[in-house]
Amino acid sequence: MFRLTQYRADPDKAEMLVTKSLETVQWMKSRGVKFQPSYGRQAFKVDGKYRFWGGLCVETWGGGEGLIELETKAAEENGIEILYETKGLSLLYDDEKVYGLRVKHKGKVREIHAGAVILASGGFEANPEMRTRYLGPGWELVKVRGTRFNTGGGIQMALDIGAMPHGNWSGCHAVGWDLNAPETGDLTVGDNFQKHSYPLGIMVNATGKRFVDEGADFRNYTYAKYGRVIMDQPGMMAWQVFDQKVIDMLRDEYRIRRVTKVTANTIEELAPKLEGVDPDQFVKTVKEYNAAVQTDVKFNPAVLDGRGTTGLDVPKTNWANTLDEPPYEAYAITCGITFTFGGLRTNDDGNVLDTELNPIPGLYAAGELVGGMFCFNYPGGTGLMSGAIFGRLAGNSAAAQVKGG
């Protein structure tokens, strides 16, 4: 966490994230959420055994959909009512404590009174105006990987009653995402527009040149910051290129029907098919890259194998393979934003703090809209884990407050 966030992660929150993850996963399991080994996405077989990348060895059964299905079941079994098509508009606040929420439910505005409110309505990733205001120019044009409903409403309603903003407001999690993906997430495709196998190949921009070290670190530690790098390229796009040596190792998302892909039997034949790319420079780039690969170092996708390039302006540090086994495959990507890093400031109980750093009675927060956890970058898997840990914490604190008075 500290290495990836350049030592800016809130140390108390990071400590909690790391030390409470196991017990939280076990608690979720006791509540009916199922987990499975993360074979398809984060693991490679080396010498007959699976090796998991970056310490991420389990994922929720059925992915995000499975998680929601089982959490919904658990909520219903415990008598928790869920109101769909209900948008939170503002907090009910009497200048001392939060006592509920004003909502719009199926076109009608109503008040819901409550002993405490826990905000868990995500960041502002689906709000082009806020993206541009806080992340910077160009961000209004990126694609949104997830829900179109995370427009920063929860953050805004807390700021409106004096909550303290916190964390990396100009930062976000963003990845390489299919160039032709829709504006916001499509539930029939899920996260399969992502293209996360770039450490196994090369990426080129419109000038036909490589622009980033595809093998700088484990995929888990680079993918969330490379979306911004792709956004910064001319035309906000890039192509990923692979040869047959690694095709079998590409993640499942490369084998979906809705994919922007071209293939060719030679690099010269592939070049003009890479729409928007300077073909002559691309051919030159591949030749130079192939000549620079340290083929004497053994390739091992499960560890930082040190099989890099020598002498290139943009090096590749690990997993460098020559591109020389046709047919070649190339995939067009742009920037897809996952979530924003800036948000509200909370204390160790999940209580939202005001601008004087005093807890706002009755107001709690968890998930993406809490700031201070991530900065510049993000280690894969920590989003859902922090949502679970701090969601549980906020729930326990809110319940204790309500029961106590």
Ligand X SMILES: Cc1cc2nc3c(=O)[nH]c(=O)nc-3n(C[C@H](O)[C@H](O)[C@H](O)COP(=O)(O)OP(=O)(O)OC[C@H]3O[C@@H](n4cnc5c(N)ncnc54)[C@H](O)[C@@H]3O)c2cc1C
Residue ranges in contact with ligand X by CB under 6 A: 87-88, 120-122, 145-147, 149-150, 153-154, 185, 191, 338-339, 367-368, 381-385, 387
Instruction: Report how far residue 394's alpha carbon sits from residue 22's, in angstroms, rounded to the nearest whole number.
Output: 18
Closer residue to ligand X (CB): 117 or 270: 117
Q: Residue 193 or 211: which CB sits closer to ligand X? A: 193
Secondary structure of residue 130 in the 3-state scheme: helix
CB of 35 to ligand X, least distance (A): 13
With a CB cutoff of 8 Å and minimum separation 6, the contacts of 344 are 119, 155, 158, 159, 163, 164, 165, 166, 352, 353, 365, 369, 370, 371
Which residue number, 154 or 301, has a Cβ lying nearer to ligand X? 154
Closer to ligand X by Cβ: residue 191 or 305: 191
**Measured from the CB of residue 272, what is the shortest distance to ligand X in angstroms?**
32
Residue located via tokens 């964390």:
167
Nearest residue to 5 via CA among 221, 279, 273, 270: 221
Name the minimum Å distance from CB 53 to ligand X: 13
Residue (121 or 318) nearer to ligand X, CB:
121
Closest approach, Cβ 239 to ligand X, in A, equals 21
Nearest to 314 by CA among 208, 170, 172: 208
Q: Note the Cα 243 to chain centre separation in Å.
A: 27
Give the nearer residue to ligand X in terms of CB position, either 144 or 274: 144
Q: How far is the CB of 214 from ligand X (least distance, A)?
A: 20
Q: How far is the CB of 279 from ligand X (least distance, A)?
A: 33
Smallest separation, CB 41 to ligand X (Å): 8
DSSP string, 197-239: -GGGSEEE-TTS-B-S-TTSS-HHHHHHHHHHHHHTSGGG-EE
- Of the pair 153, 342, the CB lying nearest ligand X is at 153
Rounded to the nearest whole angstrom, what is the least distance from the CB of residue 65 to ligand X in the complex?
11
Buried b (16+ CB within 10 A) or exposed e, 203-239: bbbbebbbbbbbbbbbbbbbbbbbbbbbbebeebbbb
Q: Tell the smallest beta-carbon distance from residue 367 to ligand X (Å).
A: 2
At its nearest, how many Å lie between ligand X and the CB of residue 104? 9
Of residues 139 and 282, the one with the C-beta less far from ligand X: 139
What H or E segment, with its residue span, contains residue 351?
Answer: strand 351-353
Whichever of 53 and 282 has its CB closer to ligand X, that residue is 53
Position 46, amino acid: V
Retrieve residue 340's tokens: 């924003």
What's the number of CA atoms in the CB half-sphere (13 Å) around residue 289? 30
Nearer to ligand X, 186 or 348 (CB): 186
- Tell me 99's DSSP state: E
3-state secondary structure of 354: strand
- What are the tokens at 319? 């997993």
**What tokens were used for 227?**
């979306």
Nearest distance from residue 359's CB to ligand X, in Å?
A: 20
* Calpha distance 359→363 (Å, rounded): 8
Which residue, 338 or 397, has its beta carbon nearer to ligand X? 338
Q: 6: closest CA among 139, 168, 166?
A: 168
* Residue 1 burial class via C-beta count within 10 angstroms: exposed 0-12, middle 13-18, buried 19 and up: buried
